Amino acid sequence: MVNRLKELREDKDLKQKDISNFLKISRQNYFRWELGEQIIPLKRLKEVSDYYKASLDYIMGLSKSNNYHEYKLNRKVIGENITKIRHKYNLSQKQLSEILNTTQSTICAYEKGKTLILTSFAYQICLTFNISLDYLCGCNDESINSISLH
């Protein structure tokens, strides 16, 4: 999983401490996200996105262009979007859970908006079905429905 956290931070001449203070986390934790040793939680990723005015797709390397749109993460909307994707490809919850190597109950919890999807699962859905992470996460801009790695 590629991320542009370091690039965005350095472009603003910020130190890891500056961003970790903004996010109210340890510098070591942020450092692990930059290195890709740990995956940044989706809620934190959105906070970073809003801070830099950078799209989730751009930050996560799903797009080379930064098409930032302001929106709020909404578990129910994300769940509805997962359901739409699953139905578009005629997949059962069990089949999607197998693609993501998780349980059917996890997919059910995501679809019902009970749980915020893990970043790694959201990223895998985007790669597998060629959709935008921003779209999946609730951005209503239909122009970013599919990712562009070009």
pLDDT per 10-residue tile (average), the chain, 150 residues: 88 96 95 93 96 95 91 95 96 97 98 97 96 91 51
Helix 16-23 to helix 27-35 angle (10° resolution) is 110
- Give the chain's domains with CATH numbers: 5-59 (1.10.260.40), 75-144 (1.10.260.40)
pTM of the model: 0.89
Give residue for tokens 């919890």. Answer: 109
Which pLDDT score, from 0 to 100, does residue 71 have?
A: 93
> Three-class SS string for 76-117?
HHHHHHHHHHHHHCCCCHHHHHHHHCCCHHHHHHHHCCCCCC
DSSP 8-state code for residue 71: -
Which pLDDT score, from 0 to 100, does residue 150 have?
A: 37
Which pLDDT score, from 0 to 100, does residue 146 have?
A: 58
Q: How far apart are CA 84 and CA 86, in angstroms?
A: 5
The amino acid at residue 85 is: I
Which pLDDT score, from 0 to 100, does residue 3 have?
A: 83
